[in-house]
Structure 1
Amino acid sequence: MKAVRFLGAGALMACLLAAGGCASITENRGFIVDRTLTSSIQPGIDNKQSVQGTLGHPSFESQFGPPTWYYVSSVTHRKPFVKPRIAQHQVLAVRFDPAGNVASVETSGVDKVVYLSPDGDETPTVGRERGFFEDLFGNIGAVGAPGTGAPASTGP
């Protein structure tokens, strides 16, 4: 009877340990949002230098259009061996006028995230398809051949 209880307790402990390994993993990615700091950025008062001093270097800057700094923040949850899922996503966009002063501050969320699904796993190219052996042995005999621009060997 004691052996059955001991085996039952051992099985219960093994199940609890296995279930503990399935806990969700939370990861913060990118800019860590501090509401006090982000709300302190004021249009017309702050400039690039004060924004960088308050929030730090942006995640990335705009390349086209008005100068804009983007601070991207994501919180993901995932189970072990499973692709992470975005739980929270926020982008803080700080736009500047030509003089470098803050023109506007906007916050957007996961509603503006676009999920792209590529069409196939290869990029189409112009030209002919070559196989492995043609790539490997394709240049044999081509060096010094007439019409390639290389001098032909005259031999001894």
Structure 2
Amino acid sequence: MISRKSVAGVCLVVAAFAATGCTSIRENRGYIQDASLIEAVQPGIDNKDSVAATLGRPTFESQFGESTWYYVSSVTGRKPFVRPRIREHNVLAIKFDASGNVVSSQNSGLEKVVFLSPDGDQTPTLGRERGFFEDLFGNIGTVGAPGAGGGAGPGG
């Protein structure tokens, strides 16, 4: 016969395996920041070439306004079968002057992230709302009608 202690032990092992299946999965996304490398970038001393040699190519560059390189990194955590949530988020912005020299570097975090919540499953539109049958049969009788254009020839 199976003893009560062995059944309790098996249940304990099964519970331990089930608990490890629910642990959070941590993922690093984007640029992995190194504090010593970031501190090595000095305004007035470095330029685009030295920044690229120290930090690598940026995640993206500004297209308008001041020349700025952005290094974006995120750490997400998620439970199995659940949408990931951002745990940490860092954006390093390095601004350059017209000649390509570093003007400033600024580090920002999760406080500047904007979370948008969509308004339902449909996109609101302006104008009147038409049903299925209005879309299907809406043009019947309008083709060739006076003032609708297209029905009469030139001058008539």
TM > 0.5 fold call: yes
- SS at structure 2 position matched to 1:125: coil
CA RMSD of aligned residues (A): 2.6
Q: How far apart in 1 are the matches of 2:133 and 2:150?
A: 24
State the 1:126 CA deviation: 2.3
What is the TM-score of this pair, normalised by structure 1?
0.78
Other-structure match for 1:125 = 125
Other-structure match for 1:56 = 56
Count of matched residue positions in the alignment of Structure 1 and Structure 2:
152
Residues 30, 137 of structure 1: alpha-carbon distance in 2 compared, 3 angstrom cutoff: farther
State the 1:54 CA deviation: 2.7
Residues 5, 141 of structure 1: alpha-carbon distance in 2 compared, 3 angstrom cutoff: farther
* Segments of 4+ moved more than 6 angstroms: none
Among all aligned residue pairs of Structure 1 and Structure 2, give the percentage whose two residues are the same amino acid: 62
- SS at structure 2 position matched to 1:89: strand
What is the TM-score of this pair, normalised by structure 2?
0.78
- Alignment-mate amino acid for residue 46 of structure 1: D
Q: How far apart in 2 are the matches of 1:16 and 1:29?
A: 30
State the 1:24 CA deviation: 0.9
Give unpaired runs (5+ residues) of structure 1. Answer: none
Other-structure match for 2:45 = 45
Residues 27-53 of structure 1: CA distance to partner in whole angstroms, max 9, x if unpaired?
111111122322222212222233223
- SS at structure 2 position matched to 1:100: coil
